[in-house]
Structures are given as C-alpha cells and as structure tokens.
Amino acid sequence: MSEDQDKLAEQWEQSVENGDSPAEETAGDAEASGAGSGAKQGARPLNQDEIDSLLGFDPETDGVPAEEGGLSAIINSALVSYERLPMLEVVFDRMVRLLTTSLRNFTSDNVEVSLDNVTSLRFGDYLNSIPLPAILGVFKAKEWDNYGLITIDSALIYSIVDVLLGGRRGTAAMRIEGRPYTTIERNLVERMLRVVLQDMCVAFEPLSPVTFEFDRLETNPRFAAIARPANAAIHARLRVDMEDRGGRMDLIFPYATLEPVRELLLQMFMGEKFGRDSIWESHLATELWHTDVQLEAVLDEQTMQLYDVLDWKVGSQIILAAEPDSDVDLRCGGIPMFNGHMGRRSGRISIKIDENFVAGGTK
C-alpha cells in the first residue's frame, strides 16, 4: 500500500508542476484513445478580451473609440470613408475658428472650440450611441433640400445655461439628472444652435453657398431620425471648453445631404477644377489659331446612277452645270464653310467670299 501511495504522490507532484491534474490527464488520455489519434488536444477557451477583439468590440481608450477590427470591420466595410471628401475637413477647420470667436461673443467668456475627430458611420448606430439626456437640434440645408443633426450633451447644456445666467467662474456647472429640460434651458440652447448654424453657413460659403435653417429641438433620438438607420453619415465631434466647464457637440451630415456638393468636397484644394485644365485649354486654343487646314472649292455636284459610273472609261467626259458667275462652295472636311464667286487675281484662280456658314458668321 505504501508503494502505491508513493507512486500516486509522485504523479500528483509532476502534474502540479506541469499545470495539469491527474483527472485532466486521464480525461485527455481517454479522449485521445477514443478518437484514435493518440495526440493530446491543444485547444483552449477564449477569454473575454480575445472575444471582443474577434468581434471588433474593443472598448474606448480615453474617450476615443478604438479602431474597428474583426467582424465589425467586415460589416462596416461598405461605408464610404470620410477621407474621400478631403475638402470637408477644411470646412470643419474653418468652422472651428469661426465658432470660437462667435461663442466668445455669445457667452462673454473664454471659449475654446476644437475638432476631436471626423468619422463615417451608420446613422442608426449613432442614434443608439447618444448618451442621454441630450438635446438634438434638427436643421435643414435649404439649397440641398435635406436635413442634418446637431447633438449637444448634457455637460455642455448645463455649462451654457450656467454661463448665460451668470454662474460663478471656476466652478463646475450643477447637473440635475432625472428631470426634463426646462423652457429656459431649451431656449438658451436654441440660441446657441442658431449661432452654430450661422457659422456653418459661413464655413461652407467659399465652397458652395448654403443656408442652414433651424427646424426643431428633440430630446428623444427616435424623433430626430432624419435618415434611414442603415444610411451612411459623416460624424464630426467638437469639443467646447469654457475654463472649468464645457462639453461636446456632434454634427451629423447624412451622405444624402452632402450629395449635391460631393464633387466639390472631393477637391484636394480650393478652386480645383474637375475634368478640365484652364492652362491647357488656353494653350490649345492658341495653337488652334496657327493650325493649317485645307479648303475644297466645289464647283458643282451631280447625282448619277452606279451603272453609269461603272461605264466610265479613259476619255469619258462629265459635263458640270458650272458657269463663270456660278456660286462656289468652300468646304473643310466635308463641312460647308463659305460661299462665293470664282474669279482671277494675280494670274491665279481665286474665290470671293459672299456668305459665311460658320456659326455667328454674317453675309
């Protein structure tokens, strides 16, 4: 009995050193022998981090979403990247500069506006990710005949209200959760939204004049659905800092809204022309004026049967109905250009132009 116990103890110590238990070894041997493979299986369960990485559900890092990967990247691969609209970043950068000055005048406080990121995402995914409570402002692009969305989070709402109503500087705005926004708060936020929309109009003006009209305020994202959930949209996140107060503001432009100016947003720099080069056009026009062309003087035309033409032989004569005072057509490549009379000048046959068939020509 003592020898058997010593052997069992030795096996137990070896299994502990290798990280396996005798029960697991016995189960592994049974599975290997039952399968007839004779090899120990190396499969192990995935932990939660590996599962999240596989599905593309990586958490945010310091408030910035991680890059998409796994199945999430495959699903969203059909989205058009905002990098294909390079001029849009120029517009947003200009809007940030304008908005910084406008909000300083609006709040009489030191305001700093910064652009966090510009991404493309599905509209339905954005509505589901809005942290509530929040106020959503719906606006209409009049010339583009479509809508956009501005979302203001609760931190920025209470900061604006606190600043406009004379709150003390250096103290964070007091947030009261669990109650709807009052009429005063909604009116103050609406005034700020009108300032933002005015600056947005100025930012887009060099590219394409457009008027953004304020439509309505919503607190429920379902009532602010301006596009289908599966539609792609541009998401620009702005950060507004007012000393110790501030918050975030999101601008949402569905791709259908930007479609009328998509070609302008594809420009790499302001003033770029698509499908044409003005320098090359002027050079081509200059060279065309020095191009040599060949004119044909047609005295007469006759319509004849094919068998008569086949009967022509050397010495056959064709009688033309042309007289010294008959009209003569001048053609270039078969296109009538001028009409005139035949004469003689300096010992050569010449034609005096009487009528101009070129576009804009006069008799």
Per-domain boundaries in the chain: 1-30, 76-265, 292-356
pLDDT at 25: 47
Average pLDDT of the chain to the nearest whole number: 77
C-alpha pair distances (Å), 305 with each of 107, 310, 311, 312: 92, 9, 10, 12
Look at residue 317 and tell me whether its pLDDT is greater than 50.
yes
Strands (E), the chain: 112-122, 134-141, 146-153, 212-218, 232-242, 245-254, 296-298, 327-332, 335-345, 348-356
User: Which among 115, 155, 152, 116 has a CA at the least distance from the CA of 249?
Assistant: 152
Q: Which structure tokens are listed for 147?
A: 């809508």
Superfamily of domain 76-265: CheC-like (3.40.1550.10)
- Maximum separation of any 2 CA atoms in the chain, in Å: 142
Cα separation, 211 vs 144, in Å, equals 9
Superfamily for the 292-356 domain: SpoA-like (2.30.330.10)
Which pair of structure tokens corresponds to residue 341?
Answer: 């009379």
Across the range 303-330, mean pLDDT stands at 85
Contact 211, 58 (CB under 8 A): no
* pTM over cut 0.85: no
Measured CA to CA, the distance from residue 87 to residue 13 in angstroms comes to 69
Whether the bond into 133 is cis, omega within 30 of 0: yes
Evaluate whether 24 touches 11 at the Cβ level (below 8 Å): no
- Whole-angstrom Cα distance, residue 103 to residue 160? 10
pLDDT at 138: 92
Evaluate whether 76-265 and 292-356 have a shared fold.
no
Is the pLDDT assigned to residue 33 strictly greater than 50?
A: no
Closest by CA position to 245, among listed 160, 185, 152: 160
In this prediction, residue 338 has a pLDDT band, given cuts at 50, 70 and 90, of: confident
In the chain, % of residues over pLDDT 70: 72
**For residue 211, what are the CA distances in angstroms to 143, 189, 197, 202, 286?**
7, 20, 8, 9, 41
Q: Choose between 114 and 81: higher pLDDT.
A: 114
